[in-house]
Amino acid sequence: MTIQALWRLSRPHTLSAAIVPVLVGVAAGALGGKPSFLLALDMLVISLLLQIATNMANEYFDFRRGVDHAGLTGIAGVIVKGELQAKTVLHYALGTFLLAFFLGCVLGYIRGLILIGLGLLSILVALLYSAGPKPIAATPYGELTVFLLMGVLETLVSEVAAVGRMSAAGLAASFSVGFLVAAILTANNLRDRESDQERGRRTLAIVLGEVRGLRFLRAEALLALLWPAMAALLGLLPWAAALTLLLLPLAAGIGRGVPLRRLLPQTSRLHLLNGVFLAAGLALWLAVR
């Protein structure tokens, strides 16, 4: 395993999806308590390790099922090109999951054993996402899975890690994160729709088709940006969280006049910006209240 291969296996363009839930969860937690910097940092490392391990597992299991080839843009390609043996990638994936679990045990010891159970659940779902005879990634339920796991659950666990409890504000903020992380998957699957269909997959992008899939993608993005303002109307978030509304033109422009291969960078960038704007809005409210 070389540094270059490890970097490619981590799929760095996906790592913002691991950072944003932690950022927003810590910011939401700060509304009701003083966050622990060290425990928040531990949670960030755990989130990154889980994302990297999931990417490695996806690389291994897709290769084992024979659905990867060197021409695919969404893979590291280290196995299909013969740079690494499949079992090496699997061992690194399992080792990375184990390291994340160990750090999660430290967090669970301090913040509560329920976090260890949630960590095991996250690892199980991450494996089922790529493994088994019918992986979640090959079904129309991928978006729902990442919405719940990488949106709602990771944001709330990050809040618990930072301040020791969950809140209605954290739950409300997690929905905004979840809508856009699901949009990242939609963008990825729209790009890979034809090759996925050839490989027998039935993702939501395949079910909807290109035109309706693009509409669904924009709806996910727009809802993510509108949600904090809606939550503020309900009294769940401070009005400063509506700072995400400034990003609405970017959401409305996703996929317009660009090839499908540009959807993923566009959506990933919006996901990161939404997380930064939402966290900044919560921090701004804390500063002026």
Give burial (CB, 10 Å; 0-12/13-18/19+) of 200.
exposed
> How many residues does this entry show for the chain?
289
Residue 125's SS3 state is helix
Which parts of the chain register pLDDT below 50? none
> How many contiguous H segments (helices) and E segments (strands) does the chain have?
12, 0
In the chain, the amino acid numbered 266 is Q
pLDDT of residue 76: 60
Alpha-carbon 49 to chain mean position: 12
- Residue ranges in 65-163 assigned as alpha helix (H): 86-111, 114-130, 142-146, 154-163
- pLDDT for the residue numbered 70: 58
pTM of the model as a whole: 0.90
pLDDT tens-digit readout, 153-207:
999 999 999 999 999 999 999 999 999 999 999 998 998 888 888 778 899 999 9
- Asked if 157 and 166 count as a contact pair (C-beta separation under 8 A), the reply is no
Q: Which residues contact 99 (CB under 8 A, 6 or more apart)?
A: 49
Establish how many alpha carbons lie within 13 A of residue 8's alpha carbon, considering only the half-sphere containing its beta carbon: 16
For residue 1, the one-letter residue type is M
Could you give the CA distance from residue 130 to residue 208 in angstroms, rounded to a whole number? 22
